Chains A and B, each alone.
Chain A
């Protein structure tokens, strides 16, 4: 069974700092990995989607990498801003030999950027 882990559970950084969020998964047989942000009491907003054949994706100040062999993905946020404060979630879509199309989420990293 696929398990997804995000460490640390919470992170506090001063504004302007570059930071890295981590996501680990146990089964490398995946279709893709997606990063989301969730603001308190709100839904999930997609940030980046990395297909299994890709190594990284970039959008603005965000860069996500994927290393399937080691079961790891990182989300790099450059020049952090208070508006980046949110919970960041990663989710994997596994290639399951049983034919299931279940998605597995990590429990998230709560980021606080201090002005």
Chain B
């Protein structure tokens, strides 16, 4: 089954404790992206990747890191999480960046205490 998977689905952590949210797609997509969703602010793009080893900042990259060492995986790293990073996070992928449908993962609900 074609899908985007994220892990974990739910995470409660404390300020400053490094964490990684994994994202994997099995559709051989080139473009992958991370979003956060907050009430009243909608979905905002954090980082995106056009292909392996090619990443760039979205609208809200502060406090986040990403890497794209393999085509299928695009982990989101929070080196020192803070409470303002409490949010619902989505990973998405598409075959091409400009023309193709984005497929979304199920989301990761992160709470930073």
Interface residues in chain A, defined as those with a beta carbon under 8 Å from any beta carbon in chain B: 31-32, 34, 36, 41-46, 49, 51, 89, 91, 93, 100-108
Contacts and interface: CB of A to CB of B under 8 A. Distances in A.
B62 interface: no
B97 interface: yes
Interface of B: 31, 33, 35, 40-45, 48, 50, 56, 58-59, 90, 92, 97-107
A32 B33 contact: no
26 contacts: A31-B99, A32-B98, A34-B102, A36-B104, A42-B106, A43-B90, A43-B106, A43-B107, A44-B92, A49-B100, A49-B101, A51-B99, A91-B102, A93-B97, A102-B45, A102-B58, A102-B59, A103-B45, A103-B48, A103-B58, A104-B45, A104-B59, A105-B35, A105-B42, A105-B43, A107-B40
The main secondary structure of chain A at its interface with chain B is: strand
B97 to A, nearest CB: 5
Contacts of A34: 101-102
B80 to A, nearest CB: 25
A89 B43 CA distance: 9
